[in-house]
Amino acid sequence: MNENTVSDFKCGYVALVGLPNVGKSTLMNNLLQMKLSIVTPKPQTTRQRVLGILNEPDKQVIFLDTPGLLKPRYKLQEVMLKTIEKAVSDSDLILLMIEAGESLNPRDIELYDQINEAGRPVVLVINKIDRISKAKLLPLIETLHEQTGIQDIVPISATKLDGLDQLKSTIKKYMPMNVPFYPPEYVTEQPERFFVAEIIREKIFQKYGEEIPYSSTVIIDEFKERKTGKDFIRATIYVERISQKGILIGKKGQALKKVGLAARGEIEHFLQRQVYLDLHVSVKEKWRSKENALRDLGYH
């Protein structure tokens, strides 16, 4: 039990929204002090909403990490866009994240206008302030105030954990009085197998160039917990073309083996137990463009 009375406890939903690569997933992980959302230097790594729960004595904040907003080219991206719209309309507060720079990116303004339609309160978060000089920060905040009219603008560095306390107290202002929605030991509501698939996907993003990561998706076919011995996980990586399958597997299976090794280490760290990871590669032609395939592969 926490010492606060139920009546001053706050609980609500916060959507993390912003262009690809601004640092949304990094922020969520570092606020939760747990790596839930995968992070890579490539844009559009996050494809589905990832729910992360911050539990503190005075509040429970439920974050919805979303894919970066973009103009859809594939059916997959249309689904990603719907995910963002849903997260925005389900939230008590939207954190619109931008990167610290010389000026505001026109695409950020476009995004802001889009989000504003939902009529939810918006806090502007300027991330990556470790990359700009302190002298530039104040004028940047002034300009952003003028351009957007947003009251609360919070500069942070998600990687350096700078400004996170200020951000948390700003978030709290917007959270409604509520009893916690989840038991305090919960950090997410998504099943372990979702995170296992995400970790494998992250390794693919880290180890291959452009084509393979964006054409890949991962399905967990089997996840057997065992009382004795390691858990057994069988996963299939789906790609769009046979040539991609060849690249993914590599000469004598060497490339895939590296993915498996890296993924297994991180899966074990995440689950806090040992696993046997059995990886397969299969082709599902043009899965990113087909509604049925997307549904079969867990995107909806």
Does 49 bind ligand GDP (CB under 6 A)? Our answer is no
As given in the structure block, the two tokens for residue 16 are 């993390």
Determine the interface stretch with ligand GDP among 114-122, 126-134, 165-173, 243-251 (rule: CB under 6 A). Answer: 126-134
Q: What is the number of other CB atoms lying within 10 angstroms of the CB of residue 217?
A: 24
DSSP 36-73: -S---SSS----S-EEEEEEETTEEEEEEE-PPP----
Which of 11, 13, 46, 244 touches ligand GDP by CB under 6 A?
A: 46
As given in the structure block, the two tokens for residue 278 are 């059995």
Q: Return phi, psi of residue 113, to 5°.
A: -60, -40
Closest to Mg ion by CB, 202 vs 240, is 202
User: Which residue matches tokens 């299976």?
Assistant: 253
Min. distance of Cβ 233 from ligand GDP in angstroms?
24
Count the residues of the shown chain that bind ligand GDP, applying the rule CB under 6 A: 21
Min. distance of Cβ 48 from Mg ion in angstroms?
10
Which of 14, 17, 25, 49 touches ligand GDP by CB under 6 A?
A: 25
Determine the interface stretch with ligand GDP among 40-48, 133-141, 178-186, 284-292 (rule: CB under 6 A). Answer: 40-48
Which of 14, 26, 92, 112 touches ligand GDP by CB under 6 A?
A: 26
Does 199 bind ligand GDP (CB under 6 A)? Our answer is no
**260 contact, one of Mg ion, ligand GDP, none, CB 5-8 Å limit per kind:** none
240 to each of 69, 74, 217, 284, how far by Cα in Å?
Answer: 23, 13, 9, 5
Which of 12, 68, 163, 260 touches ligand GDP by CB under 6 A?
A: 68
Closest to Mg ion by CB, 46 vs 60, is 46
Shortest Cβ contact with ligand GDP: which residue? 23
Which of 11, 69, 158, 218 touches ligand GDP by CB under 6 A?
A: 158
Closest to ligand GDP by CB, 31 vs 281, is 31
Min. distance of Cβ 205 from Mg ion in angstroms?
11
As given in the structure block, the two tokens for residue 48 are 């589905």
Sign of CA dihedral 11, 189, 26, 105: negative
Min. distance of Cβ 270 from ligand GDP in angstroms?
17
- Answer yes or no: are the C-beta atoms of 15 and 94 closer than 8 Å: yes
16 to each of 24, 81, 106, how far by Cα in Å?
Answer: 6, 13, 19
**DSSP class of 190:** S
Min. distance of Cβ 6 from ligand GDP in angstroms?
34
Q: Where are the alpha helices (DSSP H) in the chain?
A: 24-32, 75-89, 106-116, 134-148, 164-174, 192-207, 211-215, 242-249, 254-271, 291-296
For 119, counting Cβ atoms within 10 Å of its Cβ (0-12 exposed, 13-18 middle, 19+ buried), the class is exposed
Which of 11, 15, 17, 39 touches ligand GDP by CB under 6 A?
A: 39
Determine the interface stretch with ligand GDP among 22-30, 115-123, 210-218, 273-281 (rule: CB under 6 A). Answer: 22-30
Which of 11, 14, 22, 124 touches ligand GDP by CB under 6 A?
A: 22
- Answer yes or no: are the C-beta atoms of 172 and 211 closer than 8 Å: no
* Binding residues vs ligand GDP (CB under 6 A): 18, 20-26, 39-41, 45-46, 68, 127-128, 130-131, 157-159
